[in-house]
A and B are shown apart, each in its own frame.
Chain A
Amino acid sequence: MTARRVLIVDDEDDIREVAQVSLEMVAGWKVLTANSGASGLAIASADQPDAILLDVMMPDMDGPTTFQKLQADPAARDIPVIFLTAKLQPADQKRFAELGVAGVLAKPFDPLKLAAQVTEVLQWFD
């Protein structure tokens, strides 16, 4: 498992913190965080993470909007985006797939397996 730099975008502080600890402690990855879509866009563009874990339900700019803006940004366009979401209705899943994200991971997640799940998705994406 190669060391990666991952950006976590989530408006829930606790979730962001747990996910960050998980990826750092379990996989030894470098984790960047953002508490909104807007700041996520900026960090992604500036720091070029290997992957972005993006929450869907966020005020102001939700996950899908953030994703579309990332796609529109040449600097961030190629970064694989994985939705990490509690929106798990079939209709939501269908919508996400149509957006063209690299993958969707469910909340709540197992902090011990989160890194492995991200790696698996990225392998598929690669």
Chain B
Amino acid sequence: MSYASKGKGKKHRGLDDRNRTEEPLWGSEPECQELIENAAITDSQRAPQGIHESKDKYRSLLSNIPDVVWQMDEKYQFTFVSTNVERITGYAPGEVYQKGAQIFFQSLYPDDVGKVRDGILALFTNGQPFDVECRAQRKNGEWIWVHSRASATYEKDGIRYADGLLSDVTARKRTEEALVEAEEALHPTQFALEHASDAVFWIDSQARIVYVNDAACRSLGYSREELLALSIPDIDPLYPRDASEKAWEITRQQGSYTHETQHRTKQGKVFPVEVTSNHVQFGAKEYHFAFARDITERKRAEAGLRHEKYLLHTVMDNLPDFIYFKDRESHFTRVNLALAAAFDLNDPTQAVGKSDADFFPNENAGVFFQDEQEIIRTGRPLVDKEEKAVWPDGQTRWISTTKMPLRDPAGEIIGTFGVSRDISERKRVEEQLQTEAKIAEIFLSAPDDEMYQSILDLALASVKSPLGLFGFIDEERDLLVPAMKGSAMGTSRPVGATPRFRREDWGDSSWARALRKKTPIYSNELSLRTPPGHVNISRHISFPILFRGEAIGLFVAANKETDYQEDDVLALAKMAAHVAPILSARLDRQRAEATRDYLASIVEFSGEAIIGKSLDGIVRSWNAGAEKLYGYAAWEVVGQPISLLVPPERRDEIAQFLTRIKRGEEVEPYDTVRVRKDGRPIDVSVTISPLKNALGEIVGASTVARDITAHRELERMKDELVSVVSHELRTPLTSIRGALGLLAGGLLLSQPEKGQRMLEIAVSNTDRLVRLINDILDLERMESGKMNMEKQTCNAVELMREAVENVRGLAEKAGVTLSVTPCPARLWADPDRIVQAFINLLSNAIKFSPRGGTVWLTATPQMDQITFRVRDQGRGIPADKRESIFERFQQVDASDRREKGGTGLGLPITRSIVQQHGGRIWVESTLGQGSSFFFSLPTLPAETVLAGSESAVRKILACGFEADTFHAIETLIVRQGYALTSCSWQEIVEKARTEEPDVILLEYSSPDAQRGETVRVLKETTHTKDVPVIGVGGVAPDEEQLLAMGLAAWATKPLHEASLLSSLKSVFGRPGGLRVLVIEDDNDLARVLTTVFERHGAVVFHARTGQEAVRVCPQFFPDLLVLDVLLPELDGFGVVEQIRRYEHLKHVPLAVYSVKELDDGEKARLRLGESIFMTKSRLTPQEFEQRAIALLNWATSGQRERRQR
């Protein structure tokens, strides 16, 4: 068989001419054998003979040639085509077998069809070699140039076949069109190998290269001659020299062996190749017929692919987002680690085949499925959809989801893939911010009442409750509820006032417990404590609003349609967390404002002058006290330099003070002089303190100035008194010291009569000293209010009688007659002191009376007082001395002291005694004719007696008590001015008739059958039926029982003053109405006060003097005392001192007002129960009335509280 090349002669690049053969490429085995043999001749001597062991081996070999090898029968059916046909034409071998040559004719360029058909016809009919280049269309529509050739036909089993090659020559056609023809005139085998696009090597068993093709030369950069001198290790740096035997072994057994290695070009460049070695054997000689393909691109692509896979894995496994792929039925085909973890799966593959329904509740899974089906249907992605779902771990999470259609390379949608991100935290923060913003806005912009209501609405909405309240804790720790919701609750709210729940009244309701324990409490039981008329509370929750560990407010929600659960607690907790800081700040601000107003009013109404000035000494503020002290109004002074007030010689002080203030020092109370507006200098004590702004910087100074003129005067008087007293004490001491000194010196031993005289002087002066000291101490105690006046009801007659008895001896000695005219009157007095006053006056009168004279003691009763008179026939007192004799050591004549033995303190003491009893003392005198000393004392007049009793003293009849109990009652109440009589059960009815008691006390602690009968008789007897009866015993009966027993009140044993007195009070005191005792000597002011109090329903008693007040107070049971400090007879201090002696009056609220500012010591002396102090001059009548009303309210609430206690 011959092969005739259609092409022109061509410079051969591979096998030399010797190796050319006319034999077909393959066909019968001998032909193949010949081919190989011929080829092997290229390297001369080693070409084997029997290379065709198996036809399959060749076919396999041929498959590795880039060109398509084909075999066709005479009917134009392809009987073989190498598998690489698909690479060139796009048609798989199967398709080729099925369609035969037809496939070519159909795909050929129309112009070329003829020559191909002719060529093949000629081949089969005439044996002409077929060699055609033509244009053909690939399966994908692309036009290429193919070169197809076949050299001859042959017959087998009666059918003719042709073998041929087909190669893609498009590139060559395009670039070397001109050369192609010429270079094709080659030996078909060599041609095939030469033109194979892969490098082809023929290697002997020593790895020496015996043949290379053109492609090999090109790829390695060597000439053919150079390569034929090399062996494989020269071009393959990885060639396994040592293991080469192994490679041979593998190929011997398997026929071929493909591996990847590297080739090195002549230039040293190394590139990856895939080498397929085929084992061929010619006789004993073995060869490798190897094809090497540059796989740089493939490697690169593979590396790229690997990298991309790596990236994909990295992304899938590390992203916290959930990534998933699903098929068209929304089954997972792949999920990432994060999603697997969220599904609680150990391995992402466990998700494959499952769907969302396996992990989510139906309502969530359903939505996901719908979304995906929509994507599959429309091809439109779903972007950033925020959705909430309940996850397999039970948590509700928000996710943001983006889902896309998943397409195959052909663009068909085969499923979806998506990325979801957990945005629960973001959602939470967003919601929180929204709620916070809303709450802050409500707090900022809404008026108070709306604010609380709006917050409550929010809170109730969060727990789906129709009823509830929102309250806060005020500074008194009570709960105030400015907002309520719900019809019954709403109507129970007093209009215009914020309901206040006093802490002591909280009880143990669940909201109170929630507040106390600082923990939410909820209940889903019907509340049994609901007040009548209130809507039923079927369920409720109380949530305390805590801030910094303190409960500052409260949410209560009620009557949700379903049970309250932890979710509701959480919802309210959220609300509370938002509300707490804002509410706290708001309450703080309100308190600060209140405190500021309070402080401002303290400053404004302080009696002290309080002046603010800047650091340059300019007056910035000026209170009422400053106006009063300096005479300038605020508008005259503010903006002026402070030096306006400073006398020129003291101007330096200001600069000095300011320097110290700037250093942050305080100027301690400093006595200095300032100038009033009228130019008068005044002594002041100033305290200057730095004023700081909010940053703590010193921005000015505050000056507190006090008028110390009075203080100075007092100091002077004190010094003078000390001087006088010390002089008075030294005077008798001088005589004593002198007399004793002379005696001790022994100088008088020779003159015993003189010595005796000195002893007498010492003795008499010692007596005088003792009297003096006693008097001084008495007077001091009395004037400082430290002397206890043991006051009781006294009879004036008895006191006068006692005093006269006392001085009778003195009078007789002086030869003076005493004349007494007693007058009966009841006095509330300390009898010893009154007798002392009488004695002082009587003994003075006796001393100054001439022998044979008379001293008269008389008494004249008036309306509510009695005036005593002590008259003598002495020398009289000059007019200018009539006042001063009542001062200390102010005898009319110093010689009086000597002659009369007085201390100079008798009259001052007498005056003090009288004043302490609310009385007055004075003297009338005519020189040479005598003097009359008068003093008046208040009596216990009928008109001050309460409850219509005739007597000033209430009479109490105590019946059936044992001696001890009776004594206890006596001790407790006689002191309070009650008269107590005892009687037995037998006597009671008779006694009750004769004694006319104001109240009857009955013993109830021991059982006694007579008692009920006794009470019945008392209640049926005309004289006694209106006399209230008080039972005294153990456990108190209730009101109804009392009534049934015919009792007005009950006193519980063991008896205390308080219980006994309160039972008496309940009997004597008129029901209702606050009882106010106004102690005021100014009748106009008293009338104003009385009117105001009466207008507010109070029962008012007006005492004109301190004495009267003291007398009335124990039986009036006042709820409030209104006390003027300056009173005739007994001043406010005296009144308080007296009143303090009564157990039941010790804690009565007291309002004191005074002309002058009281200091702390004075206030302490005036305090009873809750006490407030006011300065008269500062109050206008309107203000006074306002204060009085406030006081009344204050006393009323106090009264209520006391009752509760």
Contact = CB atoms under 8 A, between A and B. Distances in A.
Same assembly:
yes
Contact of B723 (A12, A89, A110): A89
Contact of B734 (A21, A25, A26, A108): A108
Interface in A93-126: 107-112
A12 B745 contact: no
B754 interface: yes
Interface stretch (B194-202, B559-567, B725-733, B1168-1176): B725-733
A111 B731 contact: no
B723 A109 contact: no
A27 to B, nearest CB: 11
A31 interface: no
Interface string A20-36: 01100110000000010
B11 interface: no
Contacts of A19: 738
Nearest to A17: B761
**Interface hub of B719, B737, B757, B891 (most chain A Cβ within 10 A):** B737
Nearest to A58: B894
Nearest to B738: A18
A50 B745 CA distance: 26
Contacts of A88: 726, 730
B558 interface: no
Contact of B726 (A14, A25, A86): A86
Given A25-B747, A26-B745, A86 B734 contact: yes
Contacts of B741: 22, 110-112
Contacts of B748: 21, 25
B828 to A, nearest CB: 40
A12 B736 CA distance: 12
A86 B745 contact: no
A13 interface: yes
B523 interface: no
Contact of A108 (B723, B736, B742, B894): B736
Interface in B157-215: none
B727 A86 contact: yes
Interface in A1-48: 11-15, 17-19, 21-22, 25-26, 35
Nearest to A56: B727
B739 interface: yes
B729 to A, nearest CB: 8
A122 B1201 CA distance: 81
B738 A15 contact: yes
Contacts of B1084: none
A112 B741 CA distance: 7
Contact of B737 (A11, A13, A26, A109): A109
Interface in A64-85: none
Nearest to B733: A108
B726 A111 contact: no
Interface of A: 11-15, 17-19, 21-22, 25-26, 35, 57-60, 86-89, 91-92, 107-112
Contacts of A111: 737-739, 741-742, 745
6 contacts: A11-B898, A12-B898, A14-B735, A18-B758, A26-B745, A112-B747
Contacts of A60: 894
Given A21-B748, A107-B734, A111-B741, 11 more contacts: A11-B898, A14-B765, A17-B757, A21-B758, A22-B742, A26-B747, A59-B895, A86-B726, A108-B737, A110-B741, A112-B741
B893 interface: yes
A109 B891 CA distance: 26
B949 interface: no
A12 B738 contact: no
B738, B761, B765 — most chain A CB neighbours (10 Å): B738
A14 B727 contact: no
B873 to A, nearest CB: 23
A16 B39 CA distance: 177
Contacts of A15: 731, 734-735, 738
**What 4 pairs between A and B have smallest CB-CB spacing?**
A18-B738, A86-B730, A59-B894, A108-B737
B727 A13 contact: no
A12 B726 contact: no
Contacts of B726: 86, 88-89
Interface in B221-237: none
A88 B732 CA distance: 15
A25 B764 CA distance: 23
B895 A92 contact: no
Contact of B731 (A22, A26, A107, A110): A107
Residue among A11, A14, A35, A86 with max Cβ neighbours from chain B (10 Å)? A14
Contacts of B731: 12, 15, 86, 107
Contacts of B737: 108-111
B745 A14 contact: no
A114 B747 CA distance: 14
A90 to B, nearest CB: 10
Nearest to B895: A11
A12 B722 CA distance: 21
Interface string B1069-1106: 00000000000000000000000000000000000000
A12 B898 CA distance: 7
Given A86-B734, A109-B734, A110-B741, A13 B723 contact: no
B752 to A, nearest CB: 13
Contact of A14 (B719, B742, B764): B764
B736 A92 contact: no
B739 A18 contact: yes
A17 B733 CA distance: 14
Most-contacted residue by chain A among B757, B891, B895 (CB, 10 A): B895
Interface in B703-753: 719, 722-723, 726-727, 730-739, 741-742, 745, 747-748
Nearest to A35: B895
Contact of B730 (A22, A59, A108): A108
B894 A87 contact: no
A60 B733 CA distance: 23
B576 to A, nearest CB: 74
B898 A13 contact: yes
A77 to B, nearest CB: 27
A4 B337 CA distance: 133
A70 B450 CA distance: 94
Contacts of B730: 86, 88, 107-108
A12 B742 contact: no
B1038 to A, nearest CB: 73
A107 B894 CA distance: 18
**Of listed A19, A57, A92, residue having the most chain B CB within 10 A:** A57
Nearest to B746: A112
B732 to A, nearest CB: 8
